[in-house]
Amino acid sequence: MTGENTGGGAEKKGRYGDMAGIPVSADTEYTVRPIGIIESCFQEKFATPRQPGLVKNSISTIRIFQEYIPGHSLSGLEGFSHLWVLGWMHLNTNKSFRPKIHPPRLRGAKMGIFATRSPHRPNPLAISVAKIEKIEGNLIHLSGLDFINGTPVIDIKPYLKLCDCLPEAKDGWIEENSFPELEVVFTEQAEEDLKKCGSPGLKDLITETLASDPRNRRDGTQMGDGFEMGFFIANHDVHFAVRDGKACVLRIETGKKFEKKFRRDKRQKQTETEYRKNKEKKMKKIAVFTAFRGFRDEEYLEPKAILESAGIQITTVSTKKGEALGKLGAKIQTDCLISDVNTADYDALTLVGGPGALSEFDNPAVHAIFTKAQSEGKIIGAICISPMVLAHAGLLKGKKATVWTDGSNLEDFKNCGAEYTAAAVERDGRIITANGPAAAKEYANALIDALK
């Protein structure tokens, strides 16, 4: 971690001596890198628990990146029951520092930001504690975590009851401002939907989520008696309304793809259909070609999380529809077959790497799609071994580019006319290439810049 002091420095006199030589100020910047990513049943900010442990039946997984050698770095963690997780709140929307905020439980009153656990902080860091259910390779399965799907993980540490449990601790203003719990009931339709979805534990998960009332108390519309709202848990779209102090689950739609929920625009009073149509026209869209078997996990998951947090819509393209399997065990749902891709529908087309990339994508059909996309002026991206697909399609001739190489494929890459640079990420015009998993974040940010 590196720091650069661009401000006025620390105070000259400190309690324990001269502080003038310590280069820290409010302008000092540090660099942190994620060690992994969260896969969570909570798909959006709304209805994600405000604190850990409120929804004990929630399930999530930390996927540790292979660069941190999980086979060794996680050794010994299996002996602990709970885990501290430090995450980066990537969906944070605050653009400036506010010293006071409105905590949900204070019903409009303000409190100093550092006296709360609000996500709207100078540095969007969150700390949470969860129960370790099991550890499998680079996967840590947890329950009770309050993080959203796609949250970057900055660090993890074992929970120690020896020093982390403090019975004498005081809860300050929170002690007199507890959240009232809602009684949760299910309509006959919702009960039927639960039977059809075949997900054990879903009813308990929904009940715990709604019991602590996810509504914004400062939003008069949400607090209106009988106002219908919805939220996603995993691939279940749960619709509910609060009437007479009871949260009534109206219906549960299973198998729908998550999209950011419609929120009423008080100024324009758009219908949900109009809102989505207008939003889709403005949203940038990327078709991400991902091998159905053997894609490189980090090269799909990390860029997808970053791109979606930037408001970009991702369509996962593959040779088959269904559950695709990554090299390291990640399971994802594909959205579209290669044969159904219409390049006019997208602003960019990209290729994920991994051992399955060449066997599934290095063929005339995919070459033709990317060649057409280039002729239409689309942004084209490829990471790891997949730039070889672009090279074989003739798209890298005379272009600066990079690729993952063990030496055996480099001559072929150059013979296709590519100007190999060995950079982690290389951009030449509207073509962006990256050389592997470690470059995934930089690659995603390069795509975002190119789409602006």
Highest CATH level, class, for 183-257: alpha beta
- Euclidean distance between CA atoms 390 and 394, whole angstroms: 6
Per-residue pLDDT of the chain (452 residues; tens, 9 = 90+): 344 444 444 455 667 766 666 778 888 888 999 999 999 999 888 888 988 988 998 999 999 999 999 999 999 999 999 999 999 998 887 778 889 988 877 766 889 999 998 888 889 999 999 999 999 999 999 999 999 999 999 999 999 999 999 999 998 988 887 766 899 999 999 999 999 888 888 999 999 999 989 988 777 778 878 888 889 888 899 999 998 889 999 999 987 666 654 443 333 344 445 545 555 556 899 999 999 999 999 999 999 999 988 889 999 999 999 999 999 999 999 999 999 999 999 999 999 999 999 999 999 999 999 999 999 999 999 999 999 999 999 999 999 999 999 889 999 999 999 999 999 999 999 999 999 999 999 999 999 999 98
- Report which DSSP code applies to 257: P
Are 288 and 382 in contact by the 8 Å Cβ rule? The answer is no
Are 348 and 450 in contact by the 8 Å Cβ rule? The answer is yes
Are 391 and 412 in contact by the 8 Å Cβ rule? The answer is yes
DSSP 3-state assignment of 427?
Answer: strand
- Report which DSSP code applies to 143: E
299 token code pair: 């090269």
367 token code pair: 């070459």
- Report which DSSP code applies to 149: T
- Euclidean distance between CA atoms 149 and 161, whole angstroms: 28
Are 287 and 317 in contact by the 8 Å Cβ rule? The answer is yes
Diameter of the chain by CA atoms? 72
β-sheet bridge partners, residue 29? 4
- Euclidean distance between CA atoms 246 and 180, whole angstroms: 11
- Euclidean distance between CA atoms 413 and 418, whole angstroms: 6
12 token code pair: 């000259």
- Euclidean distance between CA atoms 32 and 37, whole angstroms: 14
Q: Considering only CA atoms, which of 425, 377, 374, 426 is closest in space to residue 400? A: 426
DSSP 3-state assignment of 108?
Answer: coil
Are 356 and 325 in contact by the 8 Å Cβ rule? The answer is no
Q: Specify the pLDDT at position 12.
A: 56
CATH fold of 36-169 reads Elongation Factor Tu (Ef-tu); domain 3 (2.40.30)
Q: Which whole-number Å values give the CA distances from 413 to 290, 296, 448, in the listed order?
A: 21, 20, 26
The letter for the amino acid at 203 is: K
HSE toward the beta carbon, residue 320, CA cutoff 13 A: 9
Domain residue ranges in the chain: 1-27, 36-169, 183-257, 278-451
- Burial label for 322, CB within 10 Å (0-12, 13-18, 19+), is exposed
Are 332 and 290 in contact by the 8 Å Cβ rule? The answer is yes
2 token code pair: 């590196």
Q: Specify the pLDDT at position 197.
A: 86
Highest CATH level, class, for 278-451: alpha beta
CA distance from start to end of the chain? 30
- Report which DSSP code applies to 81: S
Residue with tokens 């063929």: 363
User: H-helix or E-strand containing 62?
Assistant: strand 59-64
- Report which DSSP code applies to 436: S
Q: Considering only CA atoms, which of 200, 199, 216, 210 is closest in space to residue 250? A: 210
The letter for the amino acid at 41 is: C
- Euclidean distance between CA atoms 308 and 179, whole angstroms: 32
Q: Specify the pLDDT at position 5.
A: 43
Q: Specify the pLDDT at position 223.
A: 81
